Amino acid sequence: MKPTVVIGILGSTLDAGKFGPGRWSKWRPSVGLCMQEDLRVDRFVLIRGQQHQRLAEFVQQDIAAVSPETRVEQHIIDFTDAWDFEEVYGKLLDFARSYPFDPDTEDYLVHITTGTHVVQICLFLLTEAHYLPGRLLQTQPVKGAADAAGSWNAIDLDLSRYDSIATRFAAAAAESTSFLKSGIETNNPAFNRMIDEIEQVTVATRAPLLLMGPTGAGKSQLARRIFELKRLKRQVSGRFVEVNCATLRGDSAMSALFGHRKGAFTGASSERPGLLRTADGGVLFLDEIGELGLDEQASILRAIEDKTFFPMGADQEVKSDFQLIAGTNRDPRSGSPAANFARTCSLVSTCGRSRYRVWRIVAKIFHPTSITNWTATPSVKASASRSTKRRGTNTSNLPWRRRRAGRATSGISRPV
């Protein structure tokens, strides 16, 4: 049987007690955990701050008194603000990465009863992400009894172990894919595979999506169904804004996309918010995105990346947090400027029309740097691809112009 190691936070309130015999009538999580008859703790990694040294030594002495076989290791992590999520998560992540875990020879339990709520949430997230390779451990006092030991319960985050939860997830995924197909059951395996992958991508990421296929394949309809699915899952709160980029040219294109201030140009008698601002909190669908002019491409790339842009005639940037879905009938292998621009979106699903005039699914998610070779892996990934300077494009006023092409991409995947 492998030794059991508990990782926990010293509770400055719950673990504290009067320095006298009366403390043994009070439930203290860290001490009570080591008093359990059905749980042997071989090592207790007790995380504390510098200011709690005296309390930590007191708790360590009491643990030695009730469980001589338990070896306590004090590990110091000082939080400036234990309610600051960014600080707490970062420092606990550093601890998890530097600690010499050995899951092959030890079992780990992560005690989440002590610490602030933010600390408990971060411990949960790190355990769920396998940075802390163990199970969650929760302790609680016995109601109506002066029991210093209390009770304990281990929580395994491997949801596949829970049949009822797995069944519910499967039912929810089936409901989402049925929604994307407008409730029409299909027997085409390729079609069903693509819808399954689109469902996974849709709920897992807000990265830009690129739908590729000939005119009339149904890209607009699919984009709207994706938006409605995200709205049902409360991932978006704004509107679905659609525009065909083939109709945008010159100053009218810049005004339509980014809006303008009153008097920005001749005929601008009133302020116009623009499509990007209108889509704030929602989804912006740019159909035939490869038809945008070079100036519009350069401007919209930064808006997609940073979610900020300048309306025409404005001196201050405005923000709009939208998810982009783009559509194109361009072949990314053609090497044309329009095709190159279209593939700057992160996720690629190809839509084509079969002889039955339904979507023919190719169900591949392409990496931006390998798309020219038309090679792909069937995993669902969202890459944070960055825009690059393009020949013939005026990018002198854009701060991202010095960023190199081919920056590393990060993958986001969701288990099915």
Asked if residue 414 belongs to a domain, the reply is no
CA dihedral over 141, 143, 147, 152, signed as positive or negative = negative
For the cut 90, the answer to whether the pLDDT of residue 313 exceeds it is: no
Asked if residue 310 belongs to a domain, the reply is yes
pLDDT band at 334 (very low <50, low <70, confident <90, very high): low
Q: What percent of the chain has pLDDT over 70?
A: 75
Asked if residue 247 belongs to a domain, the reply is yes
Say what the pLDDT of residue 253 is: 79
**Mean predicted lDDT score pLDDT of the chain:** 75
For the cut 90, the answer to whether the pLDDT of residue 176 exceeds it is: no
Same-domain status, 131 and 242:
no
What range defines the domain where residue 206 resides?
A: 166-402
How are beta strands 359-361 and 347-353 bridged, if at all?
A: antiparallel
Same-domain status, 192 and 238:
yes
pLDDT band at 340 (very low <50, low <70, confident <90, very high): low
Provide the strand spans (E) within 175-287.
Answer: 209-212, 240-244, 283-287
Q: Kindly report, residue by residue over 189-227, the tens digit of the pLDDT.
A: 877 787 777 777 777 778 788 888 887 778 888 888 889
Q: Kindly report, residue by residue over 252-280, the tens digit of the pLDDT.
A: 777 888 887 777 777 777 888 888 889 89
Contact 197/349 with Cβ under 8 angstroms?
Answer: yes
Asked if residue 380 belongs to a domain, the reply is yes
Same-domain status, 126 and 201:
no
Same-domain status, 221 and 341:
yes
Same-domain status, 176 and 151:
no
For the cut 80, the answer to whether the pLDDT of residue 175 exceeds it is: no
CATH number at residue 121: 3.40.50.10770
Partners of 74 in the beta sheet? Answer: 46
Say what the pLDDT of residue 362 is: 29
Distance CA 335, CA 153 (A): 59
Distance CA 208, CA 348 (A): 9
Same-domain status, 135 and 217:
no
Asked if residue 410 belongs to a domain, the reply is no
Same-domain status, 197 and 141:
no
pLDDT band at 174 (very low <50, low <70, confident <90, very high): confident
CATH number at residue 346: 3.40.50.300
Asked if residue 362 belongs to a domain, the reply is yes
Q: Kindly report, residue by residue over 33-65, the tens digit of the pLDDT.
A: 999 999 999 999 999 999 999 999 999 999 999
Same-domain status, 231 and 377:
yes
Same-domain status, 143 and 170:
no
Domain final position from 136, 157, 178: 157
Distance CA 4, CA 38 (A): 12
Asked if residue 220 belongs to a domain, the reply is yes
Same-domain status, 91 and 205:
no
Partners of 284 in the beta sheet? Answer: 241, 324
Q: Kindly report, residue by residue over 361-412, the tens digit of the pLDDT.
A: 222 322 333 333 333 333 333 333 333 333 333 333 333 333 333 333 333 3
Same-domain status, 182 and 142:
no
Say what the pLDDT of residue 295 is: 74
Residue 371's SS3 state is: helix
Domain count, the chain: 2
pTM of the model: 0.49
Asked if residue 411 belongs to a domain, the reply is no
Same-domain status, 127 and 26:
yes
Domain final position from 157, 188, 218: 157
**Secondary structure string (H, E, C) spanning 85-142:** HHHHHHHHHHHHHHCCCCCCCCEEEEECCCCCHHHHHHHHHHHHCCCCCCEEEEEECC
Domain final position from 140, 157, 174: 157
For the cut 60, the answer to whether the pLDDT of residue 91 exceeds it is: yes
Say what the pLDDT of residue 200 is: 77
Alpha carbon separation from 305 to 206, 321, 324 (Å, rounded): 12, 10, 10
